[in-house]
Amino acid sequence: MVYHSSFVDEGVTKACGCPLLPLKSHIKGPAPASDQDKVDIADEAITFFRANVFFRNFDIKSSADKLLIYLTFYINVALKRLEGCRTLAEGTKAIINLGLEKVTVPGEPGFPFQGLFAVPQSQQEAELFRNYLKQIREETSGRLLSVAYRINGTPNKWWLAFAKRKFMNIIVPS
């Protein structure tokens, strides 16, 4: 059974049909701040990743699940980039390079889930969603590094082995 997000998206700002959920983040962006001791959507995505990555279909119960799907796919992309990195320093460099890539939004070529998110109604909504995705990707990347590599800087094979999986049957670009 697929793990769903526990977040309720009522009363939360939305962009492209996706809630802009709070984040425990030091990275500047449009995400509202969350308490440091609470679980946020990035924590949930990392926690549920190894179970959810096996599914080809994902039954959406709330719009927060859309963000969970996007983050699961992003973690899959990040792990694919980390696959060849043998040290934490190499992995950090690969993740930084991934973070520098252009973030696409619905309606643009290269966005992985065209039918899942609504096309932005204005340029401001598109930029808000792009900035939110950029912020949440950077935050998730930093947290992913702490689980993908051990304290001594060596790769954690129990995480990097999942780079070979295809989430929802989507092929991750190398």
Average pLDDT over the chain reads 88
| Residue 6, domain member (yes or no) | no
What domain range is 44 assigned to?
14-169
| Residue 1, domain member (yes or no) | no
Q: How confident is the model at residue 162 (pLDDT cuts 50, 70, 90)?
A: confident
Question: What are the pLDDT digits (tens) for 32-88?
Answer: 988 888 899 999 999 999 888 887 777 888 888 899 989 998 999 999 999 889 999
Interatomic CA distance for residues 75 and 13, integer angstroms:
24
**pLDDT at residue 53, as a whole number:** 82
| Residue 8, domain member (yes or no) | no
Mean pLDDT within 1-16: 79
Helix (H) or strand (E) holding 18: strand 18-19
Nearest Cα neighbor of 128 from 12, 15, 11 is: 15
- Written as one string, the DSSP assignment of 57-71 is -----SHHHHHHHHH
3-state DSSP helix/strand/coil % of the chain, to nearest 5: 45, 5, 50
Q: How confident is the model at residue 174 (pLDDT cuts 50, 70, 90)?
A: very low
| Residue 2, domain member (yes or no) | no
**pLDDT at residue 169, as a whole number:** 56
Interatomic CA distance for residues 103 and 65, integer angstroms:
20
Q: How confident is the model at residue 142 (pLDDT cuts 50, 70, 90)?
A: very high
Q: How confident is the model at residue 30 (pLDDT cuts 50, 70, 90)?
A: very high
Burial of residue 13 (number of CB atoms within 10 Å: 0-12, 13-18, 19+): middle
CB atoms within 10 A of CB 45: 25
Q: Are 70 and 171 in contact (CB under 8 A)?
A: no
Q: How confident is the model at residue 114 (pLDDT cuts 50, 70, 90)?
A: confident
| Residue 22, domain member (yes or no) | yes
Q: Whole-model pTM?
A: 0.91
| Residue 5, domain member (yes or no) | no
Interatomic CA distance for residues 43 and 109, integer angstroms:
28
Would you say residue 7 has pLDDT above 50?
yes
Say which CATH number the domain at 145 has: 1.10.1760.10
| Residue 4, domain member (yes or no) | no
Residues, the chain, total? 174
Helix (H, G, I), strand (E, B) or coil at 33: strand
Domain count, the chain: 1
**pLDDT at residue 171, as a whole number:** 57
Q: Are 103 and 97 in contact (CB under 8 A)?
A: no
